[in-house]
Amino acid sequence: MTNSQTPQITIAIDGYSSSGKSTMARQLAKTIGYRYIDSGAMYRAVTLYALRHDMINRADNSVNAPLLVASLPEIAIDFKVDGDNQSTLLNGENVETEIRSIAVSQCVSPVAAIPQVRHALVAMQQKMGESKGIVMDGRDIGTTVFPKAEMKVFVRASAQTRAQRRLNEMIEKGIATTFEEILANVVSRDHIDETRDESPLRCADDAIVLDNSVMSVEEQNNWLLDLYKKVVASL
């Protein structure tokens, strides 16, 4: 649906954990022929690296921040696109499944709160978006990574709804867990993400807010595509 006359823009989609951001961001990128970047996957990949190198105390999920920061130059993150599938690569290894594990979900927000980790990943993300034509989802895309993005969306839904969606995903993947465990993780990550000092989860002043608690996937995809068309038409 893009053509040579359509300007390439930057699209930032932020919001709460398991709010359906990735689903809608991925679908929009596919429909309009843009690159999609899941910034959360990058924080998850760094977390997996830290777990594998014993930099996280699993008793309380505290991170050995100096050690992790010193290792940042050794961590390369990339994405591999294969048809409709996108995989996250950590130092060349496909870690797409492992970064979605409960262990990574439990440790990722403390890792993402370390300022030097954020600086390194934000710099990578800004480089990825240099030539526009990108949809990126996360927590700070509209506020910190691309504050000048032409289109910004902030997605919210109740914690119960989000936990149920995440549970359905886990069941589909055959991962054993409970609603209570997921709800606790969603609530705890929201809290850490909102209260950290370095670029906390916050709705950008110029973002359009979408509460998708009672929307189907198709409805939210259509809503996002309509918004994109309006934004591009207004340029």
Could you tell me the smallest distance in angstroms from the CB atom of residue 5 to ligand CDP? 32
Per the structure block, which two tokens stand in for 143?
């506020």
Q: Which stretch binds ligand CDP (CB under 6 A): 15-23, 52-60, 83-91, 223-231?
A: 15-23
Instruction: Choose which of 43, 49, 146, 154 interacts with ligand CDP (CB under 6 A).
Output: 43
189 binds ligand CDP (CB under 6 A): yes
* Residue among 2 and 195 whose Cβ is closer to ligand CDP: 195
Which of 9, 5, 21 lies closest to 138, judged by CA? Answer: 21
112 binds ligand CDP (CB under 6 A): yes
Restricted to residues 129-148, the positions that interact with ligand CDP (CB under 6 A) are 138-141
Q: What are phi and psi of 104, to 5 degrees?
A: -65, -40
220 binds ligand CDP (CB under 6 A): no
Q: How many residues bind ligand CDP (CB under 6 A)?
A: 16
49 binds ligand CDP (CB under 6 A): no
Q: Which DSSP state fits 3?
A: -
CB 68 within 8 A of CB 120: no
Stated as kind and residue range, the H or E segment containing 154 is strand 151-156
State the residue number with the nearest CB to ligand CDP.
40
Other Cβ atoms within 10 Å of 59 Cβ, number: 6
In terms of Cβ atoms closer than 10 Å to its own Cβ (0-12, 13-18, 19+), residue 105 is buried
Instruction: Choose which of 109, 143, 220, 221 interacts with ligand CDP (CB under 6 A).
Output: 109
Beta-bridged to residue 87, according to DSSP, are 80
Q: Which stretch binds ligand CDP (CB under 6 A): 5-13, 16-24, 54-62, 227-235?
A: 16-24
* Residue among 119 and 232 whose Cβ is closer to ligand CDP: 119
Which of 233, 228, 230 lies closest to 34, judged by CA? Answer: 228
Between CA 203 and CA 188 the distance in angstroms is 19
Could you tell me the smallest distance in angstroms from the CB atom of residue 109 to ligand CDP? 4
* Residue among 6 and 202 whose Cβ is closer to ligand CDP: 202
Q: Which stretch binds ligand CDP (CB under 6 A): 27-35, 89-97, 104-112, 218-226?
A: 104-112
Show the CA angle centred on residue 220, arms to residues 169 and 6, nearest 5°. Answer: 120
Q: Which amino acid is at 123?
A: A
Residue numbers of the site for ligand CDP (CB under 6 A)?
17-18, 22, 39-40, 43-44, 108-109, 112, 138-141, 189, 193
